[in-house]
C-alpha cells in the first residue's frame, strides 16, 4: 500500500506575524484557533508551534497590532480572543505590500536567471 | 508612545496578564490533547519567552538582585555597617566640599547670562603697574565702543549714615546708573537706577540691601522715598535688593556693600573728567549678546590702538597702556580656586582610601562566599549575571552610604558652614541643590563600582573552577586573595602618605607664618575706627584742611589718652591699620622722584599710609635712619615723609634716602624724606617688603581713621569708652570696629587655618583608615598562616622569630607603600606651591617625619596580630582543619 506522501509541516517563523494578522482580518480568534486556521488554510503545510505562537502574540500585543478580549470557545470555555486593531490593519497592509514586492522579485529571479 | 503606555500597563497589571497568558496556553494544551497531539514542549520556558516580549526582564533581574543583596547585607551586619559608615564618611565629606565648589567655582555669579559679565582692567606694563584705574573719557569711549551692552564703574568705601539712633559707618559703593541693569537683577522693593540717567555727579538716589533695611530701618514698609543723610548729604532710597543679593565685588569689603549710590563720576566730588586723570574705580561690563570674550578683547585692542594714536600725550608709548577683559566670575573667586581644589583632591583621596578599605573587607568575605558563587554558577547563572549580582550588592552598600552621608551632612550643615571663614565669597550660595545631589549619586555609584569590581579584577574570583578548588584546601588557594589584599594595602598606604605629607606641608607653612617676624608688636594694641564725613560739596566740609582736622584729632587723642589703662595713643588712616584692610582700602598713589619721573602717567604707584607721630613707637616699628614725625610737622611747615626699608631699597638703592625729595598725590609741592623705618608686615603676615610711604596726619588729612591704643584695657568696654570720648568732641562721628590687633592677626590667618584644619582632618581620617586596613590584612595573613606557624613552632622555632616574621611582613608592605606614596607626593605637592609659605613643596623634613609616623602606625597595627601569632598553640593549629 503506497504511503500517503505528506511532507513534514513547516514552521514559517519570519512570516508568522503576517499570517496571524491575515487570519485575524476576517474576525477575532483565540490562540489555538489561530494555529489551527493557519494549519488548515495552508493545506496542512504550515504548522505553528506553541513556542513561537505565544511569544509572537505577546509581541503583537506590545506593538498594539492586536488586542485581546474575552469570548467563549467552541467547547464552551471562557478564553481570550485576539482581535485586529486599526494599527494592526495598517501593519497588515504594509506587510502584504512588502511581501508582494519581495515574492515578485524572487519569482523574477527564478524565472529569468 | 502607545507602546510605552502598554508596557507600563502590563507592569502594573502583570499578575492578570500573566494569568491570562497561562490560561491561553492551558486551553491550547487541552485542545491539542483532544486532537491527539500531546506534545507541547517546555510550557514554563515558552511562558517565560512570551513574557519577555514585554521587555521587563531587566527589572525582574534587578529586583531579584536587590532582594538578594538586601539578604546578604543583613546577614553580615558588622561588615555592612562598617562599609556603609566608611562610604558615608567619604561620600559625605566629598559632597560637602563639592557643594562649596559648586557655589563658588561653578556658579560664582548668580546672575542671568553670567558668562557675558566681564571685569575691565587698565594696565601699564611698560612701568610694571597693573589695574591702574580708569579715566572718565575712557569710560565714555568704552560705552560708545559697541562692544558692550552696559558698562559700569564702581568705587568702594564707606560712608557715615547719620540721622538714626547712632551714627553708623556703612559699606557703600558709588556705581554708574547702569549697574543693576548690567547685572540683570531686580529689586525686592521699588526700583533700581535708570540705566539711561546721565547725571554727571551723584544722582542722589540709593539702593540698599535687605540687611541694611532690616538692621537700620526695622524693615520699615515706607522705606521707599525716605531721605538718608550720608556724609551730611541727603539721598533718597529708591529700592531694596532681595535678601540673597550680594555685591559681586573683588574684596570681602566690596562684597559686604550695604548701599549703592548712583553716580556719573564726572562732577564733584570726582575731579574734572580729563583723560590724564585716572580714578581708582573698578569697571565691569556686560558683553553684547553673541560676543565672546576673545572677540570682544580683539575689538577692544583695536579701540586702544586708535585712542593711543589720537591722544599721544595722554598715552606715552613707554607705558604700553593696555586694557584687559577678564571674566567677572574669576575675580570673584580669586585665589580661592587653588585652596578649594586642594581640599577637593584631599577629600577625594580619603574617599578613595575608604573604597580600598571596603574592597579589602569584600575580599575578606570572599572566602566564605566562593562556595556560594560556585554553586550558583553550577545551577546555570552566567558569569555576567553573577558579576551583576555582586555589583548590585556593592552599589547598594555605597548608595546606602551616600544616603547616610547626605543625611548627616544635612543635619550638621550649619555647624560646617560656621567653620568657613566669613570672607568667603558666595557663602550663602552653598546648599544641597540638585547638582550636588546628582554629584553625590554619581559618586556613590563610582565608589561602589570601585570597591565592588576591584576585588573581582584582582583575584579573578569568578573563575569558578578555581573557587571550587579553593574550597578543597583552604590555605594554598587563597594566595591570590592574600596577594590582592597586599596590593590594596600598599595602595592605601601610599594614598595616605600623600595626604599626610600635604597636611604636613600646610602645617609647616602655618607654623612659619605664625612665628614670622612681623616687624611690629600686635600685643596689647587695640584699634577703633572712626570716619570723618566727606560731603559732595567740599565747601561744606568742616574738616577740609589738615589744620582743621588736626585740631579735632589732637583733642580726640588727648581725651583717649586719659582712659583707664591706656599707655599710648596714636591715629592713622585705614592703610595704617595692620592686616585690617582689604585691597580696596589701599591708598596707591603715583610717585615721582626728583630728577627721575616727570609725568604722572609714567609714575609707579606706591602705597601710602597717614599716621600721627606716636604711631611708630606705639606699634614698635624700629627707626633705622633720620627721624620720625614730630608734633611740629604741620600743614604750614615743609612736608616730610617716613619711608620703609623696602621703599628705600626699591627707589634709592645704595643711597641715603634721607633728604631726598619726591612728589605724591598729584600735589605740586615736594615732600622730603625725613626718616627710614624697618619693614613691617602690615599687609599680610606672608608678604614682606612692600614699599610704603608714611605721611604725617597733621600735614595730610585722612578721612578713614583708625585710633590705636596700647595698654591694659578692657576690650569689651573700650569701644563704648572711646565712642563717648570721640563723640564728646563731635557727636556726628561714628565709632566702630573695636578689635585687638592680636585678633586681627588671627583673623588674617583664618583662610589658611581653615585649609589646614580641613586637610589635617582628612589626613587623620586617612591615617585611621590605613591603620585599620593594615591591621585587617595582617590579621588575615596571620590567620591563613596559623598552620604554618604551628608547624614551625612544633619544629622548635623561636616565638620571637615568629613575631619578627609577622612584623617583617607589615614592614615590607609599608615600605612598598611608602615608596609609591613618596613618588606620588613628589608629583602632588608641586601643585601646592601656591598655598605654601616658607617651606619647599619637597621639604625633606616633612617627607621623612611623615613617612616615619605612618610606618610607626603600620607597625603598631601589625603588632596585635603578630602577638596573636606568637601565642599560637602548635597542637591546636595542627588540629585546625
- A58/B55 Cβ within 8 A: no
DSSP type of residue B318: G
- As a whole number of angstroms, the distance between CA B814 and CA B108 comes to 43
Distance from CA of A45 to the nearest CA of B (A): 16
* Residue A3 pLDDT grade (very low, low, confident, very high; cuts 50, 70, 90): very low
Q: Residue B617 pLDDT > 90, yes or no?
A: yes
- As a whole number of angstroms, the distance between CA B818 and CA B814 comes to 6
* Residue B565 pLDDT grade (very low, low, confident, very high; cuts 50, 70, 90): confident
Contacts with B265 (C-beta within 8 Å, 6 or more apart), sequence order: B136, B139, B153, B155, B174, B176, B273, B279, B281
The larger pLDDT score, comparing residue B128 to residue A57, is at A57
Instruction: Tell me what the mean pLDDT of segment A18-32 comes to.
Output: 88
Instruction: Tell me what the mean pLDDT of segment B224-251 comes to.
Output: 85
What digits encode the pLDDT tens for the residues B33-58?
Answer: 877 665 656 777 778 778 887 878 88
- As a whole number of angstroms, the distance between CA B748 and CA B741 comes to 10
**Mean predicted lDDT score pLDDT of chain A:** 83
pLDDT at B165: 62
pLDDT at B694: 93
| C-beta atoms surrounding B436 within 10 Å | 21
- A30/B50 Cβ within 8 A: no
Q: Is B625 helix (H, G, I), strand (E, B) or coil?
A: strand
pLDDT at B586: 52
Residues 9-68 of B with CB under 8 A from A: 10, 20-21, 23-25, 27-28, 31-32, 40-42, 45-47, 49-55
| Residues in chain B closer than 8 A to A51 (CB atoms) | 41-42, 45-46, 49
pLDDT at A4: 45
* Residue B244 pLDDT grade (very low, low, confident, very high; cuts 50, 70, 90): confident
| Residues in chain B closer than 8 A to A50 (CB atoms) | 25, 28, 32, 40-41, 46
Burial of B799 (0-12, 13-18, 19+ CB in 10 A): middle
Q: Residue B566 pLDDT > 80, yes or no?
A: yes
Q: Residue B179 pLDDT > 80, yes or no?
A: yes
Q: Residue B584 pLDDT > 50, yes or no?
A: no
Instruction: Tell me what the mean pLDDT of segment B576-587 comes to.
Output: 63
- As a whole number of angstroms, the distance between CA B404 and CA B294 comes to 46
**Are residues B48 and B371 in contact, defined by beta-carbon separation less than 8 angstroms?**
no
Q: Residue B475 pLDDT > 70, yes or no?
A: no
- As a whole number of angstroms, the distance between CA B813 and CA B778 comes to 10
What digits encode the pLDDT tens for the residues A46-61?
Answer: 888 778 888 888 888 8
pLDDT at B466: 57
**Are residues B303 and B138 in contact, defined by beta-carbon separation less than 8 angstroms?**
no
Across the interface, of B3, B23, B50, the residue whose CB is closest to A63 is B3
Where is mean pLDDT largest: B307-321, B323-337, B807-821? B807-821
* Residue A35 pLDDT grade (very low, low, confident, very high; cuts 50, 70, 90): confident
- As a whole number of angstroms, the distance between CA B735 and CA B723 comes to 5
Q: Residue B683 pLDDT > 60, yes or no?
A: yes
Instruction: Tell me what the mean pLDDT of segment B705-732 comes to.
Output: 87
Please name the helix (run of DSSP H) or strand (run of DSSP E) that holds residue B118, with its range, or none.
Answer: strand B117-123
pLDDT at B297: 93
A8, A54, A77: best to mutate for the B interface, most B CBs within 10 A: A54
Across the interface, of A50, A54, A64, the residue whose CB is closest to B6 is A64
| Residues in chain B closer than 8 A to A35 (CB atoms) | 28
B3 shares contact with chain A (CB less than 8 Å): yes
B1, B24, B43, B47: best to mutate for the A interface, most A CBs within 10 A: B24
What digits encode the pLDDT tens for the residues B482-539?
Answer: 777 788 888 888 988 998 898 889 888 888 888 888 888 888 999 998 888 877 777 7
Q: How far is CA B166 from the centre of its chain?
A: 36
- B41/A49 Cβ within 8 A: yes
pLDDT at B715: 76
Across the interface, of A31, A62, A68, the residue whose CB is closest to B28 is A31
Q: Residue B756 pLDDT > 90, yes or no?
A: no
**Mean predicted lDDT score pLDDT of chain B:** 83
Q: Residue B365 pLDDT > 60, yes or no?
A: yes
A13 shares contact with chain B (CB less than 8 Å): no
Distance from CA of A100 to the nearest CA of B (A): 28
pLDDT at B753: 83
* Residue B476 pLDDT grade (very low, low, confident, very high; cuts 50, 70, 90): very low
**Are residues B499 and B825 in contact, defined by beta-carbon separation less than 8 angstroms?**
no
Give the residues across from A67 on adjacent strands: A83
DSSP type of residue B83: H
* Residue B615 pLDDT grade (very low, low, confident, very high; cuts 50, 70, 90): very high
C-alpha cell of residue B103: 557655589
What digits encode the pLDDT tens for the residues B416-445?
Answer: 888 777 767 677 777 888 888 999 999 999
- B25/A31 Cβ within 8 A: yes
A16, A32, A57: best to mutate for the B interface, most B CBs within 10 A: A32
The larger pLDDT score, comparing residue B277 to residue A37, is at A37
Instruction: Tell me what the mean pLDDT of segment B713-718 comes to.
Output: 81
**CATH 1.10.10.10 is right for the domain spanning A3-112:** yes
Q: Is B4 helix (H, G, I), strand (E, B) or coil?
A: helix
Across the interface, of A50, A57, A61, the residue whose CB is closest to B40 is A50
Q: Which residue of A has its CA nearest to B46?
A: A51
Q: Which residue of A has its CA nearest to B6?
A: A62
CB pairs under 8 A between A and B: 69
Across the interface, of A51, A55, A68, the residue whose CB is closest to B41 is A51
pLDDT at B356: 87
Q: Is B184 helix (H, G, I), strand (E, B) or coil?
A: coil
Q: Could you give the percent of chain B with pLDDT greater than 90?
A: 19
Instruction: Tell me what the mean pLDDT of segment B89-100 comes to.
Output: 90
The string of DSSP letters for B683-715 reads SBTTB----EEEEETTTS--SEEEEEEEES--T
What digits encode the pLDDT tens for the residues B731-752?
Answer: 888 888 888 888 888 877 877 8
Distance from CA of A71 to the nearest CA of B (A): 12
pLDDT at B601: 62
Instruction: Tell me what the mean pLDDT of segment A29-45 comes to.
Output: 86
Contacts of B212-216 with CB under 8 Å at 24 or more apart are: B212/B170, B212/B258, B212/B259, B213/B189, B213/B240, B216/B161, B216/B164, B216/B168, B216/B170
Of A79-88, B7-16, B27-36, the range with the lowest mean pLDDT is B27-36
Distance from CA of B22 to the nearest CA of A (A): 10
Q: Residue B472 pLDDT > 60, yes or no?
A: no
Q: Could you give the percent of chain B with pLDDT greater than 70?
A: 92
- As a whole number of angstroms, the distance between CA B127 and CA B596 comes to 13
For B389, phi then psi, to 5°, come to -60, -50
Give me the interface pTM, i.e. the ipTM.
0.80
Q: Which residue of B has its CA nearest to A57?
A: B50
Q: Residue A79 pLDDT > 50, yes or no?
A: yes
| Residues in chain B closer than 8 A to A54 (CB atoms) | 21, 24-25, 28, 46-47, 49-50
- As a whole number of angstroms, the distance between CA B651 and CA B678 comes to 15
The larger pLDDT score, comparing residue B687 to residue B600, is at B687
Q: Residue B583 pLDDT > 60, yes or no?
A: no
pLDDT at B816: 92
A62 shares contact with chain B (CB less than 8 Å): yes
Amino acid at each position: 500500500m503506497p504511503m500517503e506522501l505528506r511532507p513534514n509541516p513547516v514552521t514559517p517563523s519570519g512570516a508568522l506575524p503576517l499570517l496571524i494578522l491575515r487570519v485575524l482580518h476576517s474576525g477575532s480568534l483565540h490562540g489555538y484557533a489561530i494555529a489551527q486556521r493557519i494549519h488548515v488554510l495552508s493545506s496542512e503545510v504550515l504548522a505553528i508551534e506553541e513556542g513561537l505562537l505565544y511569544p509572537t502574540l505577546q509581541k503583537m500585543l506590545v506593538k498594539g497590532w492586536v488586542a485581546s478580549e474575552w469570548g467563549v470557545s467552541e467547547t464552551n470555555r471562557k478564553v481570550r480572543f485576539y482581535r485586529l486593531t486599526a494599527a494592526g490593519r495598517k501593519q497588515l497592509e504594509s506587510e502584504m505590500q512588502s511581501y508582494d514586492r519581495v515574492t515578485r522579485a524572487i519569482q523574477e529571479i527564478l524565472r529569468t536567471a | 508612545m502607545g507602546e510605552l503606555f502598554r508596557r507600563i500597563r502590563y507592569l502594573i497589571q502583570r499578575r492578570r496578564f500573566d494569568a491570562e497568558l497561562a490560561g491561553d496556553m492551558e486551553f491550547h494544551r487541552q485542545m491539542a490533547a483532544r486532537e491527539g497531539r500531546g506534545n507541547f514542549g517546555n510550557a514554563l520556558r515558552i511562558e517565560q519567552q512570551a513574557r519577555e516580549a514585554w521587555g521587563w526582564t531587566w527589572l525582574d533581574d534587578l529586583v531579584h538582585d536587590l532582594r538578594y543583596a538586601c539578604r546578604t547585607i543583613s546577614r553580615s551586619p558588622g561588615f555592612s555597617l562598617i562599609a556603609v559608615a566608611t562610604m558615608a564618611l567619604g561620600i559625605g565629606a566629598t559632597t560637602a566640599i563639592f557643594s562649596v565648589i559648586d557655589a563658588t567655582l561653578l556658579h560664582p555669579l548668580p546672575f542671568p547670562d553670567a558668562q557675558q559679565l566681564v571685569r575691565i582692567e587698565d594696565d601699564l606694563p611698560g612701568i610694571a603697574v597693573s589695574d591702574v584705574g580708569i579715566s572718565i573719557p575712557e569710560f565714555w569711549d568704552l560705552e560708545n565702543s559697541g562692544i558692550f551692552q552696559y558698562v559700569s564703574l564702581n568705587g568702594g568705601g564707606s560712608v557715615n549714615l547719620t540721622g538714626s539712633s547712632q551714627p553708623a559707618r556703612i559699606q557703600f559703593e558709588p556705581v554708574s546708573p547702569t549697574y543693576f541693569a548690567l547685572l540683570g537683577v531686580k529689586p525686592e522693593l521699588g526700583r533700581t537706577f535708570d540705566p539711561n540717567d546721565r547725571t554727571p555727579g551723584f544722582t542722589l538716589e540709593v539702593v540698599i540691601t535687605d540687611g541694611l533695611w532690616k538692621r537700620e530701618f526695622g524693615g520699615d514698609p515706607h522705606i521707599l522715598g525716605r531721605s538718608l543723610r550720608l556724609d551730611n548729604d541727603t539721598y533718597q532710597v529708591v529700592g531694596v535688593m532681595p535678601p540673597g543679593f550680594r555685591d559681586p565685588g573683588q574684596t570681602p569689603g566690596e562684597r559686604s556693600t550695604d548701599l549703592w549710590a548712583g553716580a556719573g563720576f564726572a562732577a564733584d566730588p570726582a575731579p574734572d573728567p580729563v583723560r590724564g586723570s585716572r580714578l581708582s574705580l573698578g569697571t565691569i561690563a556686560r558683553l553684547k549678546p553673541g560676543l565672546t570674550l576673545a572677540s570682544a578683547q580683539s575689538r577692544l585692542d583695536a579701540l586702544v590702538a586708535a585712542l593711543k594714536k589720537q591722544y599721544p600725550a595722554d598715552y606715552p608709548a613707554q607705558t604700553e597702556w593696555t586694557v584687559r577683559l577678564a571674566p567677572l566670575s574669576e575675580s570673584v573667586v580669586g585665589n580661592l580656586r587653588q585652596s578649594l581644589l586642594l581640599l577637593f583632591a584631599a577629600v577625594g583621596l580619603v574617599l578613595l582610601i575608604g573604597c580600598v578599605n571596603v574592597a579589602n573587607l569584600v575580599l575578606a568575605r570572599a572566602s566564605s562566599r566562593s562556595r556560594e558563587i560556585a554553586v550558583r554558577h553550577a545551577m546555570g547563572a552566567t558569569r555576567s549575571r553573577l558579576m551583576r549580582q555582586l555589583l548590585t550588592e556593592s552599589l547598594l552598600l555605597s548608595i546606602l552610604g551616600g544616603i547616610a552621608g547626605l543625611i548627616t551632612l544635612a543635619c550638621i550643615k550649619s555647624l560646617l558652614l560656621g567653620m568657613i571663614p566669613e570672607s568667603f565669597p558666595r557663602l550663602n550660595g552653598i546648599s544641597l541643590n540638585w547638582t550636588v545631589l546628582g554629584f553625590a549619586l554619581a559618586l556613590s555609584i563610582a565608589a561602589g563600582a570601585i570597591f565592588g569590581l576591584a576585588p573581582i579584577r584582582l583575584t579573578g574570583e569568578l573563575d569558578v573552577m578555581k573557587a571550587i578548588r579553593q574550597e578543597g584546601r583552604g590555605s594554598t588557594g587563597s594566595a591570590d586573595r592574600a596577594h590582592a589584599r597586599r596590593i590594596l594595602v600598599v595602595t592605601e598606604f601610599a594614598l595616605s602618605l600623600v595626604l599626610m605629607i600635604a597636611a604636613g606641608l600646610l602645617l609647616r607653612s602655618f607654623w612659619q607664618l605664625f612665628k614670622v617676624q612681623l616687624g611690629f608688636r600686635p600685643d596689647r594694641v587695640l584699634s577703633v575706627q572712626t570716619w570723618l564725613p566727606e560731603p559732595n560739596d567740599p565747601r561744606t566740609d568742616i574738616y577740609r584742611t589738615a589744620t582743621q582736622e588736626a585740631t579735632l584729632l589732637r583733642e580726640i587723642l588727648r581725651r583717649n589718652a586719659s582712659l583707664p589703662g591706656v599707655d599710648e595713643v596714636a591715629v592713622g588712616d585705614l592703610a595704617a591699620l595692620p592686616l585690617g584692610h582689604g585691597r580696596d582700602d589701599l591708598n596707591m598713589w603715583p610717585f615721582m622722584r626728583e630728577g627721575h619721573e616727570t609725568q604722572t602717567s609714567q609714575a609707579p604707584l606706591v602705597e601710602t599710609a597717614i599716621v600721627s607721630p606716636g604711631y611708630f613707637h606705639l606699634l614698635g616699628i624700629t627707626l633705622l635712619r633720620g627721624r620720625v614725625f614730630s608734633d611740629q610737622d604741620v600743614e604750614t611747615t615743609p612736608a616730610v615723609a617716613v619711608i620703609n626699608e623696602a621703599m628705600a631699597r626699591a627707589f634709592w638703592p645704595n643711597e641715603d634716602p634721607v633728604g631726598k625729595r619726591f612728589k605724591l598725590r598729584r600735589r605740586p609741592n615736594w615732600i622730603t624724606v625725613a626718616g627710614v623705618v624697618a619693614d613691617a608686615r602690615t599687609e599680610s603676615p606672608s608678604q614682606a617688603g612692600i614699599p610704603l610711604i608714611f605721611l604725617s596726619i597733621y600735614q595730610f588729612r585722612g578721612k578713614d581713621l583708625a585710633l590705636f591704643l596700647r595698654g591694659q584695657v578692657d576690650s569689651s568696654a573700650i569701644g563704648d569708652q572711646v565712642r563717648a570720648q570721640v563723640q564728646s568732641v563731635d557727636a556726628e562721628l561714628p565709632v566702630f570696629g573695636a578689635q585687638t590687633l592680636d585678633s586681627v592677626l588671627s583673623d588674617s590667618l583664618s583662610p589658611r587655618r581653615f585649609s589646614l584644619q580641613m586637610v589635617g582632618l582628612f589626613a587623620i581620617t586617612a591615617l585611621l583608615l590605613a591603620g585599620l586596613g593594615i591591621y585587617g590584612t595582617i590579621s588575615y595573613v596571620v590567620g591563613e598562616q596559623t598552620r604554618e606557624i604551628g608547624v614551625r613552632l612544633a619544629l622548635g622555632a623561636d616565638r620571637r622569630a615568629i613575631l619578627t616574621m609577622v612584623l617583617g611582613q607589615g614592614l615590607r608592605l609599608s615600605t612598598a607603600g611608602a615608596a609609591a606614596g613618596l613618588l606620588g607626593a613628589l608629583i602632588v605637592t608641586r601643585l601646592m606651591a601656591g598655598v605654601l609659605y616658607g617651606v619647599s613643596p619637597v621639604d625633606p623634613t616633612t617627607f621623612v617625619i611623615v613617612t616615619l609616623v605612618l610606618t610607626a602606625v603600620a607597625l603598631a597595627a601589625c603588632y596585635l596580630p603578630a602577638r596573636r601569632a606568637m601565642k599560637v598553640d602548635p597542637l591546636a593549629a595542627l588540629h585546625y582543619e
